[in-house]
């Protein structure tokens, strides 16, 4: 056989053997059965949020830098309490927070505006500053909706006559709370006052306080001065929630008692002060005490038209007819007494008794120009601040 022919036959045989041992496999890609988002721009893997239970797991990003403004809705089955990074988390600029988001989904902005609380207060939009609209209680909500701060009262009649802001904290998880910082308070006249001291539960705000899920812890911020306007344009407090910064900012907070009206006693007792709605009557029964323990004291009764919890706090003052200023030392309400806030339950149309003992002075005036008692319903409503003028000392 010719040499070239033989070589051709060998190559042909090799080709046939190779073809017999190889099979090309074709796979048909099934057509996508889901719903594409409007506009046709699809990022894979695409997940339709309306098809519950079929999408990828949620991704939670870093929440330790503070509260953001724009958030996504809270998603069932995701952990928003720990703030731990998960794989593929999105990058978050400092000072903002991403709550749980579906993988490759778009953040959905929250609606604007404020809501109402059951007790008539104002509730803000999650993660945003709150316009309190001169109403208390005023509630700030974290962007993950797991943490709230509510201001329940702000006035100038706390101990030593300084601005004092009362607040409460609640969380949907067990936590340890510490007050991180409080900004200067700014009133509606743009005057500023710095923080003097703080209280969280029974501590000074720097000591960690434990709180169970669904619980509430109360606190107070006392500032260095009083303010002369009837509202705060800005109040901001940062609280550490298991180490996570929760900074609540509130605007247009009302400051002051419910009324500045006073009872003119005309040097006669008993003397009656009534609330503007006539639902509470406080009767000053007697003022004196010099012949007993040497301290000025005052005795009174509280009568309400409905059941309520009555509270009394430090800060009672009196001014003698010759100018001596008396400061409250201890006080009592029903059977409870103390140096700070005390409370007692009052039944409708049944009076409860109370008293104030003042610090000793060398002066013993025969009458008082004015007597003011820090007495109020223990609720978010502003305090009554009853005041009696032209009071005899017997």
Return the pLDDT at 136.
86
The 3-class SS string of 112-161 reads CCCEECCCCCEECCCCCCEECCCCCCEEEECCCCCEEEEEEEEECCCHHH
Q: Quick one: which of 354, 258, 263, 348 has its CA closest to 303? A: 348
- The whole-angstrom separation of Cα 233 and Cα 220 is 18
How many of the other CB atoms lie within 10 Å of CB of 336? 13
| Sequence-ordered list of residues with C-beta below 8 angstroms from that of 258, at least 6 positions apart, any chain | 275, 276, 381, 382, 383, 384, 385
State residue 34's pLDDT score. Answer: 42
User: Distance between CA atoms of 211 and 297, rounded to whole angstroms?
Assistant: 39
- Token pair belonging to 161: 């006559």
pLDDT, residue 374, reads 86
Q: What pLDDT, on a 0 to 100 scale, did the predictor assign at position 248?
A: 96
Question: How far apart are alpha carbons 307 and 352 in whole angstroms?
Answer: 12
Q: Which helix (H) or strand (E) covers residue 287, if one does?
A: strand 280-288
Structural fold of domain 263-392: Immunoglobulin-like (2.60.40)
Rounded CA gap, 362 and 176, in Å? Answer: 48
Whether the Cβ atoms of residue 384 and residue 259 lie closer than 8 Å to each other? yes
Query: What pLDDT, on a 0 to 100 scale, did the predictor assign at position 110?
Result: 38
Res 12: pLDDT = 56
* Contact yes or no for 355/344 (Cβ under 8 A): no
Place of tokens 């505006």: 113
- Which bin fits 300, alpha (ψ -120 to 50), beta or left (φ > 0)? beta
Judge contact between 99 and 63, C-beta under 8 A.
Answer: yes
pLDDT of residue 108: 32
Say which residue the tokens 């109370």 belong to: 354
Q: What is the pLDDT of residue 77?
A: 35
Q: Which fold has domain 115-254?
A: Immunoglobulin-like (2.60.40)
CB 138 within 8 A of CB 168: no
Which is it for the CA torsion 48, 53, 56, 58, positive or negative? positive
Residue-wise pLDDT tens for the chain (394 aa)? Answer: 555 555 555 555 555 554 444 444 444 444 444 443 343 333 333 334 344 444 333 333 333 334 443 333 333 333 333 344 443 333 333 333 333 332 233 333 333 345 556 556 799 999 999 999 988 889 999 999 999 999 988 887 655 568 889 999 999 999 999 999 999 999 888 989 999 999 999 889 999 999 999 999 999 999 998 888 888 999 999 999 999 999 999 999 988 765 557 899 999 999 999 987 788 999 999 999 876 778 899 999 999 999 999 999 888 999 999 999 999 999 999 999 998 889 999 999 999 999 999 999 988 999 999 999 988 888 766 678 799 999 999 8
pLDDT at residue 114, as a whole number: 53
Find, among 138, 135, 163, 314, the residue nearest to 229 by Cα: 163
Task: Write the CB contacts of 313 (distance below 8 Å, at least 6 apart in sequence).
Answer: 158, 159, 340, 341, 342, 374, 376
Whole-number pLDDT of residue 107: 35
Q: Assess contact for 89 and 61: CB atoms under 8 A.
A: yes
Helix (H) or strand (E) holding 292: none
Q: Does the N-terminal peptide bond of residue 363 adopt cis geometry, omega within 30 degrees of 0?
A: no
Q: How far apart are CA 151 and CA 121, in angstroms?
A: 10
Torsion angle of C-alpha atoms 122, 127, 129, 135, degrees rounded to 10: 10
Cross-strand pairs, 337:
332
What's the full length of the chain, in residues? 394
Listed by start position, the domains of the chain span 115-254, 263-392
Round to whole Å and give the CA distance between 212 and 194. Answer: 31
């Amino acid at each position: 056989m010719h040499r070239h022919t033989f070589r051709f036959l060998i190559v042909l045989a090799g080709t046939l053997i190779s073809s017999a041992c190889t099979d090309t496999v074709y796979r048909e890609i099934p057509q996508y059965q889901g719903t594409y988002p409007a506009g046709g721009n699809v990022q894979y893997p695409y997940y339709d949020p309306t098809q519950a239970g079929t999408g990828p797991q949620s991704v939670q990003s870093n929440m330790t830098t503070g509260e953001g403004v724009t958030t996504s809705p809270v998603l069932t089955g995701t952990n928003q309490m720990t703030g731990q990074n998960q794989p593929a988390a999105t990058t978050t600029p400092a000072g903002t927070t991403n709550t749980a988001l579906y993988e490759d989904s778009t953040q959905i902005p929250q609606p604007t505006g404020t809501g109402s609380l059951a007790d008539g207060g104002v509730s803000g939009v999650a993660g945003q500053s709150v316009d309190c609209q001169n109403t208390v209680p005023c509630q700030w909500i974290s962007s993950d909706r797991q943490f709230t701060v509510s201001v329940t009262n702000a006035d100038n009649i706390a101990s030593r006559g300084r601005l004092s802001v009362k607040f409460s904290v609640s969380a949907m998880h067990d936590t340890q709370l510490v007050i991180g910082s409080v900004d200067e308070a700014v009133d509606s006249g743009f005057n500023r006052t710095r923080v003097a001291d703080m209280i969280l539960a029974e501590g000074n705000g720097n000591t960690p306080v434990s709180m169970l899920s669904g619980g509430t812890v109360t606190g107070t911020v006392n500032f260095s001065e009083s303010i002369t306007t009837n509202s705060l344009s800005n109040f901001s407090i940062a609280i550490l929630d298991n180490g996570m910064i929760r900074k609540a900012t509130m605007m247009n907070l009302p400051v002051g008692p419910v009324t500045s009206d006073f009872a003119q006693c005309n040097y006669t007792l008993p003397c009656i002060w009534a609330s503007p709605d006539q639902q509470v009557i406080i009767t000053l029964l007697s003022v004196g005490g010099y012949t007993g323990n040497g301290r000025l004291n005052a005795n009174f009764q509280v009568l309400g038209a409905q059941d309520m919890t009555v509270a009394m706090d430090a800060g009672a003052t009196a001014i003698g007819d010759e100018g001596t200023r008396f400061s409250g030392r201890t006080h009592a309400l029903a059977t409870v007494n103390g140096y700070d806030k005390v409370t007692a339950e009052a039944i409708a149309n049944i009076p409860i008794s109370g008293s104030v003992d003042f610090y000793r002075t060398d002066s013993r005036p025969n009458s008082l120009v004015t007597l003011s008692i820090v007495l109020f319903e223990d609720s978010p409503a502003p305090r009554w601040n009853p005041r009696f003028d032209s009071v005899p000392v017997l």
